[in-house]
Each structure stands twice: as C-alpha cells, then as structure tokens.
Amino acid sequence: MAMVPAQIRGRAPAWSLEQFEYALPPERIAQAPLKQRDSSRLLHLGLDSTLADHAFTDLPGLLRPGDLLVANDTRVRAARLNGRRDDGGPAEVLLLERLDGDRYTALVRPGRRLHEGARITATAGLHLSVEGSAAGHAGARIVRLSTAGDIERAIATAGEAPLPPYIHVRLADPERYQTVYAAGQATSAAAPTAGLHFTPAVHDALAAHGIGWTTLQLDVGLGTFAPITAADVRSHRMHAERCTLPTATVDRIEEAHSQGGRVVAVGTTVVRTLESHVDASGRLRPGTQSTELFITAGHRFAIVDGLLTNFHQPRSSLLVLLASFIGAEGWRRAYAHALAGGYRFLSFGDCMLCWRQGSAA
C-alpha cells in the first residue's frame, strides 16, 4: 500500500479545515487543455482500494454493461467582463447568476474600489453599476447591467470564458471550456470540468459497451467559487445554485438501479443535484429547485454509486464532498498517488474514477 506523504496526512480533528489541506505545487496546475480532450489520464480507485493508472479512453472498460453515467449539460456563459471604472482604472467582473431582469450577482476586482455606486464601462455598449455587496464571498456584489440592446447578447459579445483565477494562460479556443454535450442557454459561471474529457468517440465506445448516458443541469455559481474559511467545515454555508432534474433522467436512474446497474456521476455538481432531489423517503424526485446542499462526512448517499471527477483544490467544498464519498484515507491515498505520478490538477487537469465508500456494487 502506498504511503501517504506527511503534507497530506490528516492529523487534525475530523471536522477541521486542516484535514482538507495538501501541498499543491503551482507547476501541477494545468494551465491549458490538452490538444485532444480524451487524451487525459484517469486514476481508478477501485472498490478494493487499489489504485490503477489509465488513459481516459479506458473508461468504458472500467464500467459494466448496464451502468449509467449522469452528466451536467449546463452551458457556460462568457461571463468574465473587463472594463474601466469612472476614475479610469481597470475593473473585472465575473457574472455568476441572473437575479431578475438586468441584475446579477458577480465577483469583482478590485473589490476595495468597487462598492455601492461604482460604475464600470465594458465593450459592446455594456455598462455596469454596483448596487451593493452579496453574501458568500468577500468580492461578491450585486450589479445592474444596461445596454441599448439585448443584455445576454451584449454579454456574449463583450465577455470572455470565465477561467478560474489559478489559470494564467489565455484560452485560444473558448469552446475548450465547454463540454461537447452542453445544451440550452448559457447560464453557468464555470464549466462542469469532469465532463471536459468526453468526446464523440468516447460516447460511441460507452454505447458499444452497453453503458447508458443521461443528463441533468446545475447552473454553476458562487457555490463553486466561495472558499471555506471556517475552521470547522460544518460551519460553511453553500450559496444557492439552481438545478433541474428531468423526469426522463429519474426514469433512467431507477431503471439502471432496478437492473443492477450503477449510477456514476460525472462531476460533483451531478452528485449535489441528485442528492438534493431525494425526498424524505429516499426516492428521487424530478423538478427544479435551488440547492444549498453541502455534502460532508456522514452524508448518506441515496443515489450515486460512482464518481468521475477532476482533482480539486485544497480546502475546497469539492474536496470535502470527495472525502465524504470515498473516505479520508481514500482521497489522501489517491491524491498522494496522483502527485507522485505526475497527474495534472484542477479544471484542465486529469481525472479519477472512484466508488462510494462501503459500496458493494
């Protein structure tokens, strides 16, 4: 069994934020997507706790006929706007969620200069005014947009792909921060990055292996960006994000489980959506809602058997979710292996396939 390096070995109390700390060298953060989406690596943490290195194209062979992949088909808005303040200084606004009409929640920089009453001019005739602070993040604001034409069209024209702040290389092709199966109106402030590895060829291979595919939608917002600051992670509060679970997806999941298939979530947003739609009796219910579900240790997973996910930042709600799914020892061993083995981390990095702790599937 691989030893877990001291830098990611848990010594603090179980609920301590320190339990979700590890050393992530900057050079291990992927700054750009690979030339081919499906040429990424895949680390498989098996039910027997073994770790095995694979290519992403091996995924169909790691699943069983009758298994069902569930993906988030949200489309990313060109949500990063660059402009000028009234005093001539630069400003950056990352639109997160449309509230009503022309009002949005957003992350702004520089936050110390963009308080209530501040105004910003972007390109495409787009103007923004700050109405006040928004909960959940020190840089969060409520902004009002104005333009002569359609606001969403102006955002699409003026905006850029909303890459995370740890990516410092400009993206040559904005579609690489979009899954190949994204559908509907662009409403998300970040991509569901576990899905970025899929290609039509992989989809064909999954179908040929008898593995199903279905989708739901969670519009990624502040919940993904808000850092955990509480020393006890149980005190962290997730920002509400809108999610929709179609009836057809519920039917596919129930059919897969009834026939012995496993439900594999493509990314943490899928896990949160599915687990948010479970009623008091343990049944999955379709519909649209806002979810603030923060999955921590002790959560009883009702739907998800397996998880395909990228490697997450230290001290993030995503890492806390992963730890609750595969256990503290599981994530530490997997991340130690990935760090030692040269895996690429975060949004444009490699991925891992793992199974729910205690699952007998």
CATH number for position 275: 3.40.1780.10
Final residue in a domain of this structure, among 113, 133, 160: 160
Q: For 12-17, which contacts have Cβ atoms below 8 Å and span 24 or more sequence positions?
A: 14/297, 14/328, 15/232, 15/233, 15/234, 15/296, 15/297, 16/231, 16/232, 16/233, 17/228, 17/230, 17/231, 17/232, 17/233, 17/315
Residue 130 included in any domain: yes
**pLDDT score, position 30:** 98
pLDDT, average across residues 132-140: 81
Residue 1 included in any domain: no
102: pLDDT strictly greater than 60: yes
Residue 168 included in any domain: no
Q: Residue 128: what are its φ and ψ, rounded to 5°?
A: -130, 140
**pLDDT score, position 11:** 55
pLDDT, average across residues 244-263: 98
DSSP per residue, 73-97: --EE---EEEEEETTS-EEEEEEEE
124: pLDDT strictly greater than 90: no
6: pLDDT strictly greater than 70: no
Do 67 and 85 share a domain, yes or no?
no
DSSP per residue, 158-191: H-B----TT--S--S-GGGGS-TT--SSEEESS-
**pLDDT score, position 299:** 93
Do 11 and 114 share a domain, yes or no?
no
Distance (Å, rounded) from C-alpha 215 to C-alpha 125?
36
Do 149 and 19 share a domain, yes or no?
no
Q: What is the CATH number of the domain that holds 116?
A: 2.40.10.240
Residue 166 included in any domain: no
2: pLDDT strictly greater than 50: no
Do 132 and 241 share a domain, yes or no?
no
Do 272 and 328 share a domain, yes or no?
yes
Do 182 and 67 share a domain, yes or no?
yes
Mean pLDDT of the residues in the chain: 92
Do 156 and 42 share a domain, yes or no?
no
Distance (Å, rounded) from C-alpha 89 to C-alpha 113?
9
Distance (Å, rounded) from C-alpha 356 to C-alpha 358?
6
Give the tens place of pLDDT for each residue, 201-243: 999 999 999 999 999 999 997 666 677 888 999 898 887 899 9
Q: When comparing pLDDT for 15 and 178, which is higher?
A: 178
Query: How distant, in Å, are the alpha carbons of 57, 58, 257 from that of 43?
Result: 12, 10, 25
pLDDT band, residue 15 (cuts 50/70/90): confident
Do 282 and 350 share a domain, yes or no?
yes
Residue corresponding to tokens 């034409």: 149
Quick one: the chain helix, strand, coil %, rounded to 5? 30, 25, 45
- Contacts of 251 by beta carbon, 8 Å cutoff, 6+ apart: none
Do 268 and 295 share a domain, yes or no?
yes
pTM here?
A: 0.90
Number of structural domains the chain divides into: 2
Residue 170 included in any domain: no
Residue 124 included in any domain: yes
Range of the domain at 39: 6-76+176-355
Do 344 and 259 share a domain, yes or no?
yes
